[in-house]
């Protein structure tokens, strides 16, 4: 058979050899039925490229108070292979409406996609994403530290003071320390205390909470619009 | 005081209130109170006993696709519920409105690993539009009404109701609910005027516009509106598999099928047009091929009711969010009457080339064993292109979609997004119930038929007039084709020993015939169509035939192989 008769000849070659089909009889794919030709070395593509446009986004999601939504929302992130860094869920200022505050590293395209896919869930009211300059952020941490070490090492107290943390309870076994602030300060406090051997017994962060800096309350506006629509639709 | 009834009886009344008259189902322990109530509603709620719960859901899907109504399936807890998952996921990805009601153990037993308990809401949430557990009889009316509202409005989809046993047996004063508004869900968003104007300007400035029609056109009941729009501006179009019956196959602007096994013209021209107008389609990878080279030269306008489809796969220039039944007339008003004759005639050489190199050989062979293309072609001709085409998955599906012709909407029932083998036979049963006045032709392969072959029992019992065209090639043909093309002919577990299908049909008291010779094909088809009720027509198909054209996976949309 002629090379030109290869059906691939009509268009560009695919896969770099004469035909990804077997019909022309020219290429090694048709050599012998069932025989595996010598392996070609395949270029291994990295599964996920490191993307410099990745940023920490804060997602604020409002939903109706219906059971099972948390797993639906987290599933949106899992499906798109985005890790959730922090997650906070509680009732919002609007009765019956729950607020989710989620942080994740991703690029803006992904943030848009995640937001739309969360809003697609029937009982999600609104989902938006923000960068740190668009929101007021706070986070709390609690540290349980060893009292004997605190008493033996004056550094402990000076670190606590230096980071404006608060001692909320002390007993002969342990002290409880609380700090509210931004994540980097909280981590710095923990890292400083953690340099002292056997000082930190437990450490926990609340995850980020945030409110928007915008002068418009988007949720209220949305709910008002929906009420107007409800009345229109009834008519 | 109003009369008190059981939650199960309330379900019956709520279903009737929603206009349900056909249910596909299978009973079991946790749904028995509901089946007991159903016994008194046999006159209004026609229950079709399937032979496997997967069949109930596919039947509900087939029913919904052809009728435009919500399909309904009812099954027991545990294994009954898990058997529906494939169908539910299929309905999700293909936007089919169905409501599946599963029995569940009583609330007191939830979470105790009780007999036949499964976390149905947890399992189905990722593959449903909405999934809800009814825990009290008081919630039946609201939950059913909300379920149907969600399933049928906006982008349609499946809803699962997990019906706890105590909610079925508990007593309640029933008052039908009418959910017609959900605060957190806007199924028909307002059309953005600016987007319409911008889109109209782009269309009026375009010299080489090309439209892509998906199932959304049919789901939005907007076939007439879209047709008026395309005709006014003389825009050629291609359709997805699920959009095949949006427009008549012989419409002069219909350039054919998009995607991997579609037609050459529409795929090549996708990469030559200056404007792509996508209506109710979602740029599936089977349609686009390599995204990096897909329609890069063109501006893209996307009409869709689901906002999360915009920019999901393909970067677009204008999004028109909303119901195309509303948005398309608005755009029609703004576009100029136009002619694109030379652009449209540019499709012709590709159509001719494909006809000469592929189509003619596939549908008019003169020698050798029977081919799937000719079987499909003869069947569509014999039905005057008026029948409903139901397919299974595999080569039979690709050939059926390529060569079946359509003259009216809601004539395609195929598993597009999921590619679920075993879909065809039960979906055909549903289609027969959903469109009792029409001929229903189910094309399937020897592999797929055996995945839900027990539904022959349902067909027998119901006398459902399903015309089954079994295209038997003794292979899992589609996989074999890929093995031939991409895995060096290594036929790993794709040849199949087949049973005597005529004997099986006989066992189910379904008339059947086998056609081996080309000369007998027309008579076989005539006999099938002339026989009242069901019929199994087995065609002995060439064993190693391939579906062409084909865009190899990951290749560019305009790089189709012709053979
Ligand atoms: C449930 C399921 N399992 C496996 C597949 C993979 N698959 C796709 S096509 C195909 C072969 C189908 O063979 P057959 O039903 O004989 O139809 P043909 O392709 O020969 O027409 C298979 C195994 C699938 N789509 N669905």
* Contact flag B308-A116 (C-beta cutoff 8 Å): yes
Task: Looking at the structure, tell me whether residues A59 and A122 fall in a common domain.
Answer: yes
pLDDT at B112: 96
pLDDT at A66: 87
Residue B380 in any domain: the answer is yes
Closest-CA residue to B211 (of B395, B68, B338, B92): B338
Task: Looking at the structure, tell me whether residues B26 and B115 fall in a common domain.
Answer: yes
Residue A220 in any domain: the answer is no
pLDDT at A43: 55
Residue B561 in any domain: the answer is no
Task: Please tell me the number of Cα atoms within 13 Å of B396 on its side-chain side.
Answer: 36
Alpha-carbon separation of residue B374 from A90, B259, B383 (angstroms): 62, 21, 14
| CB interface of A with B, residues 67-86, below 8 Å | 68, 71-72, 75, 79
The pLDDT confidence band at residue A205, using thresholds 50, 70 and 90, is very high
Task: Looking at the structure, tell me whether residues A72 and A122 fall in a common domain.
Answer: yes
**The domain that contains A163 carries what CATH number?**
3.30.70.1150
% pLDDT > 70, chain B: 100
Q: How many H-runs (helices) and E-runs (strands) does chain A carry? A: 6, 9
Residue A72 in any domain: the answer is yes
Task: Looking at the structure, tell me whether residues B199 and B166 fall in a common domain.
Answer: no
Query: Each residue of B89-139: pLDDT tens digit?
Result: 999 999 999 999 999 999 999 999 999 999 999 999 999 999 999 999 999
Q: Which atom of ligand 1 is nearest to the CA of B392?
A: 15
Residue B161 in any domain: the answer is yes
Higher pLDDT, A235 or B246: B246
Paired tokens of B452 = 């839900």
% pLDDT > 70, chain A: 77
Task: Looking at the structure, tell me whether residues A113 and A162 fall in a common domain.
Answer: no
Task: Looking at the structure, tell me whether residues A65 and A104 fall in a common domain.
Answer: yes
Residue A219 in any domain: the answer is no
Task: Looking at the structure, tell me whether residues A118 and A168 fall in a common domain.
Answer: no
Structural domain containing residue A101 = 55-132
Rounded Cα gap, residues A62 and A90, in angstroms:
10
Task: Please tell me the number of Cα atoms within 13 Å of B84 on its side-chain side.
Answer: 40
Query: Each residue of A57-116: pLDDT tens digit?
Result: 999 999 999 888 999 999 999 999 999 999 999 999 999 999 999 999 999 999 999 999
Task: Looking at the structure, tell me whether residues A66 and A122 fall in a common domain.
Answer: yes
Alpha-carbon separation of residue B275 from B206, B237, B253 (angstroms): 6, 12, 16
Residue B563 in any domain: the answer is no
Q: What is the mean pLDDT of residues B506-514?
A: 98
Grouping H, G, I as helix, E, B as strand and the rest as coil, residue B92 is helix
Question: How far is the first Cα of chain B from the last one, in angstroms, to the nearest whole number?
Answer: 74
DSSP B304-349: ES-GGGTTSSS--SEEEES-HHHHHHHHHHHSPP---HHHHHTTHH
Task: Looking at the structure, tell me whether residues B340 and B421 fall in a common domain.
Answer: no
Q: Are strands B22-25 and B46-49 parallel, antiparallel or unpaired?
A: parallel
Rounded Cα gap, residues A185 and A168, in angstroms:
18
pLDDT at B370 over 80: yes
Chain A hits for B559, Cβ within 8 Å: 11-12, 14
pLDDT at A4 over 70: no
* C-alpha dihedral sign at B420, B426, B429, B430: negative
Closest-CA residue to A22 (of B491, B356, B557): B491
How far A207 CA sits from the closest chain B CA (Å)? 25
Grouping H, G, I as helix, E, B as strand and the rest as coil, residue B411 is coil
Asked if residue B223 lies in contact with residue B330, where contact means CB atoms within 8 angstroms, the answer is no
State phi, psi for A88 to the nearest 5 degrees. Answer: -135, 130
Q: Are strands A55-64 and A97-106 parallel, antiparallel or unpaired?
A: antiparallel
Higher pLDDT, B56 or A15: B56
Helix H or strand E encompassing A63: strand A55-64
Grouping H, G, I as helix, E, B as strand and the rest as coil, residue A121 is coil
Task: Looking at the structure, tell me whether residues B307 and B404 fall in a common domain.
Answer: no
**The domain that contains B242 carries what CATH number?**
3.40.50.1220
- State the distance from the centre of ligand 1 to the C-alpha of A83, rounded, in angstroms: 35
Selected for mutation to probe chain A from B132, B151, B182, B308 (highest A CB count within 10 Å) is B308
Q: In sequence order, what are the beta bridge partners of B49?
A: B25
Residue B63 CB contacts under 8 Å (≥ 6 apart), including other chains = B22, B24, B69, B71, B430, B431, B433, B434
Rounded Cα gap, residues B105 and A117, in angstroms:
32
Rounded Cα gap, residues B173 and B13, in angstroms:
12
Paired tokens of A119 = 């809003």
Task: Looking at the structure, tell me whether residues B10 and B155 fall in a common domain.
Answer: yes
Question: How far is the first Cα of chain A from the last one, in angstroms, to the nearest whole number?
Answer: 74
The pLDDT confidence band at residue A7, using thresholds 50, 70 and 90, is very low
A151 DSSP assignment: H
Residue B552 in any domain: the answer is no
Task: Looking at the structure, tell me whether residues B22 and B159 fall in a common domain.
Answer: yes
B489: nearest CA in chain A? A34
Residue B355 in any domain: the answer is no
Residue A227 in any domain: the answer is no
Task: Looking at the structure, tell me whether residues A120 and A160 fall in a common domain.
Answer: no
A117 Cβ under 8 Å from any chain B Cβ: yes
Residue A18 in any domain: the answer is no
Asked if residue B217 lies in contact with residue B238, where contact means CB atoms within 8 angstroms, the answer is no
Residue A35 in any domain: the answer is no
Task: Looking at the structure, tell me whether residues A182 and A193 fall in a common domain.
Answer: yes
Please say which residue of A88, A116, A132 terminates a domain.
Answer: A132
Residue B437 in any domain: the answer is yes
Closest partner residue to B490 (CB to CB) among A34, A68, A113 is A34
Measured at the alpha carbon of residue B240, what is the angle toward residues B369 and B413, in degrees to the nearest 5? Answer: 70
Number of domains within chain A? 2
Task: Looking at the structure, tell me whether residues B247 and B375 fall in a common domain.
Answer: no
A11 Cβ under 8 Å from any chain B Cβ: yes
Chain A hits for B308, Cβ within 8 Å: 113, 116-117, 119-120
Chain A hits for B121, Cβ within 8 Å: 68
Say how far residue A16 (Cα) sits from the centre of its chain. 39
pLDDT at B316: 97
Task: Looking at the structure, tell me whether residues B8 and B96 fall in a common domain.
Answer: yes
Structural domain containing residue B300 = 193-348
Alpha-helical runs (H) found in B18-104? 32-38, 53-67, 79-82, 85-93
* Contact flag A75-B185 (C-beta cutoff 8 Å): no
Please say which residue of A132, A156, A177 terminates a domain.
Answer: A132
**The domain that contains B120 carries what CATH number?**
3.40.50.970
pLDDT at A6 over 80: no
Query: Each residue of B283-332: pLDDT tens digit?
Result: 999 999 999 999 999 999 999 999 999 999 999 999 999 999 999 999 99
Paired tokens of B268 = 């090549």
Residue B224 CB contacts under 8 Å (≥ 6 apart), including other chains = none
Residue B508 CB contacts under 8 Å (≥ 6 apart), including other chains = B456, B457, B459, B460
Task: Looking at the structure, tell me whether residues A144 and A117 fall in a common domain.
Answer: no
Q: What is the mean pLDDT of residues B539-563?
A: 95
Q: Say which residue the tokens 């309904």 belong to.
A: B72
pLDDT at B492: 97
Residue A14 in any domain: the answer is no
Helix H or strand E encompassing B4: strand B4-6
| Average pLDDT, rounded, for chain A | 84
A7 Cβ under 8 Å from any chain B Cβ: yes
Paired tokens of A235 = 């008519």
Closest-CA residue to B144 (of B1, B2, B23): B23
Residue B499 CB contacts under 8 Å (≥ 6 apart), including other chains = none
pLDDT at B359 over 90: yes
Site residues for ligand 1, CB cut-off 6 Å:
B 392-396, 419-422, 445-448, 471, 473, 475-479
Predicted-complex ipTM score? 0.91
Task: Looking at the structure, tell me whether residues B38 and B93 fall in a common domain.
Answer: yes
| Average pLDDT, rounded, for chain B | 97
Residue A15 in any domain: the answer is no
Asked if residue B176 lies in contact with residue B145, where contact means CB atoms within 8 angstroms, the answer is yes
pLDDT at B222 over 80: yes
Number of domains within chain B? 3
Closest-CA residue to B471 (of B445, B494, B441): B445
Q: In sequence order, what are the beta bridge partners of A203?
A: A143
**The domain that contains A80 carries what CATH number?**
3.30.70.260
* Contact flag B183-A226 (C-beta cutoff 8 Å): yes
B383-387 contacts, C-beta under 8 A, 24 or more apart: B383/B439, B383/B441, B383/B529, B385/B249, B386/B438, B386/B439, B387/B411, B387/B438, B387/B439, B387/B440, B387/B441
Task: Looking at the structure, tell me whether residues B89 and B153 fall in a common domain.
Answer: yes
Task: Looking at the structure, tell me whether residues B54 and B144 fall in a common domain.
Answer: yes
pLDDT at B2: 79
Please say which residue of A132, A148, A183 terminates a domain.
Answer: A132
Task: Looking at the structure, tell me whether residues A60 and A126 fall in a common domain.
Answer: yes
Residue B362 in any domain: the answer is no
pLDDT at A14: 35
Task: Looking at the structure, tell me whether residues B227 and B333 fall in a common domain.
Answer: yes
Task: Looking at the structure, tell me whether residues A139 and A185 fall in a common domain.
Answer: yes
């Amino acid at each position: 058979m002629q090379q030109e008769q290869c059906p691939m000849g009509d268009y560009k070659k695919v896969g770099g050899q004469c035909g990804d089909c077997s019909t022309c009889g020219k290429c090694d794919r048709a050599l012998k039925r069932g025989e595996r030709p010598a392996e070609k070395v395949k270029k291994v593509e990295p599964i996920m490229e490191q993307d410099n446009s990745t940023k920490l986004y804060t997602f604020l999601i409002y939903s109706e108070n219906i059971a099972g939504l948390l797993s639906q929302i987290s599933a949106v992130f899992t499906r798109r292979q985005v890790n959730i860094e922090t997650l906070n869920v509680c009732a919002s200022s609007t009765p019956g409406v729950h607020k989710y505050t989620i942080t994740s590293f991703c690029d803006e395209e992904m943030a848009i996609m995640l937001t739309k896919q969360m809003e697609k869930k029937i009982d999600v009211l609104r989902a938006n994403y923000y960068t740190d300059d668009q929101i007021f952020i706070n986070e709390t941490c609690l540290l349980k530290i060893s009292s004997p070490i605190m008493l033996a090492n004056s550094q402990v107290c000076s670190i606590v003071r230096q980071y404006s943390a608060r001692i909320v309870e002390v007993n002969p076994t342990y002290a409880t320390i609380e700090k509210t602030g931004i994540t980097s300060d909280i981590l710095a406090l923990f890292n400083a205390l953690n340099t002292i051997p056997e000082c930190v017994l437990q450490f926990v962060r609340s995850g980020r909470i945030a409110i928007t800096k915008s002068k418009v309350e988007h949720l209220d506006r949305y709910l008002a619009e929906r009420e107007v629509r409800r009345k229109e639709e009834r008519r | 005081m109003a009369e008190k009834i059981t939650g199960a009886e309330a379900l019956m009344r709520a279903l009737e209130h929603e206009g349900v008259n056909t249910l596909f189902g299978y009973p079991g322990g946790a749904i028995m109170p509901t089946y007991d109530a159903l016994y008194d509603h046999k006159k209004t709620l026609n229950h079709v006993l399937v032979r496997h719960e997967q069949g109930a859901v596919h039947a509900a899907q087939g029913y919904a696709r052809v009728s435009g109504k919500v399909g309904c399936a009812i099954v027991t807890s545990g294994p009954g519920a898990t058997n529906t998952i494939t169908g539910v996921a299929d309905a999700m990805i293909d936007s089919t409105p169905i409501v599946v009601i599963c029995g569940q153990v009583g609330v007191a037993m939830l979470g105790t690993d009780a007999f036949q308990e499964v976390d149905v809401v947890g399992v189905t949430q990722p593959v449903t539009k909405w999934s809800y557990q009814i825990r009290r009889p008081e919630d039946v009316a609201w939950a059913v009404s909300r379920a149907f509202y969600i399933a049928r409005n906006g982008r349609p989809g499946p809803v699962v109701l997990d019906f706890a046993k105590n909610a079925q047996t508990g007593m309640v004063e029933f008052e039908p609910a009418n959910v017609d508004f959900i605060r957190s869900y806007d199924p028909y968003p307002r059309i953005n005027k600016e987007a319409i104007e911008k889109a109209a300007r782009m269309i009026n400035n375009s010299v080489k516009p090309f439209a892509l029609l998906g199932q959304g056109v049919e789901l939005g009941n907007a076939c007439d509106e879209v047709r008026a729009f395309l005709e006014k501006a003389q825009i050629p179009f291609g359709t997805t598999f699920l959009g095949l019956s949006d427009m008549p196959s012989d419409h002069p602007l219909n350039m054919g099928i998009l995607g991997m096994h579609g037609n050459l013209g529409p795929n090549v021209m996708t990469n030559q047009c200056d404007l792509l107008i996508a209506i109710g389609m979602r740029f599936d990878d089977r349609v686009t091929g390599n995204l990096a080279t897909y329609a890069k030269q063109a501006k893209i306008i996307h009409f869709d009711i689901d906002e999360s489809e915009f920019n999901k796969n393909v970067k677009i220039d204008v999004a028109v969010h909303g119901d195309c039944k509303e948005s398309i007339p608005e755009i029609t008003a703004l576009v100029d009457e136009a002619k694109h004759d030379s652009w449209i005639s540019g499709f012709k050489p590709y159509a001719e080339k494909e006809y000469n190199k592929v189509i003619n050989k596939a549908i008019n062979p003169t020698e050798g064993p029977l081919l799937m293309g000719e079987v499909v072609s003869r069947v569509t001709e014999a039905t005057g292109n008026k029948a409903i085409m139901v397919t299974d998955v595999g080569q039979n599906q690709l050939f059926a979609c390529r060569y079946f012709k359509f003259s009216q909407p809601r004539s395609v029932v195929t598993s597009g997004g999921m590619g679920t083998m075993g879909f065809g036979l039960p979906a055909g049963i549903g289609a027969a119930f959903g469109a009792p006045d029409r001929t229903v032709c189910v094309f399937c392969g020897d592999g797929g038929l055996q995945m839900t072959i027990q539904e022959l029992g349902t067909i027998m019992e119901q006398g459902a007039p399903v015309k089954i065209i079994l295209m038997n090639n003794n292979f899992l043909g589609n996989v074999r084709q890929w093995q031939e093309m991409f895995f060096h002919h290594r036929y790993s577990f794709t040849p199949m020993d087949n049973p005597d299908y005529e004997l099986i049909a006989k066992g189910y008291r379904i008339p059947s015939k086998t056609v081996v010779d080309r000369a007998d094909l027309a008579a076989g088809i005539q006999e099938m169509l002339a026989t009242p009720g069901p019929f199994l027509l087995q065609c002995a198909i060439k064993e190693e035939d391939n579906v062409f054209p084909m865009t190899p996976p990951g290749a560019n949309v305009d790089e189709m192989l012709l053979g």
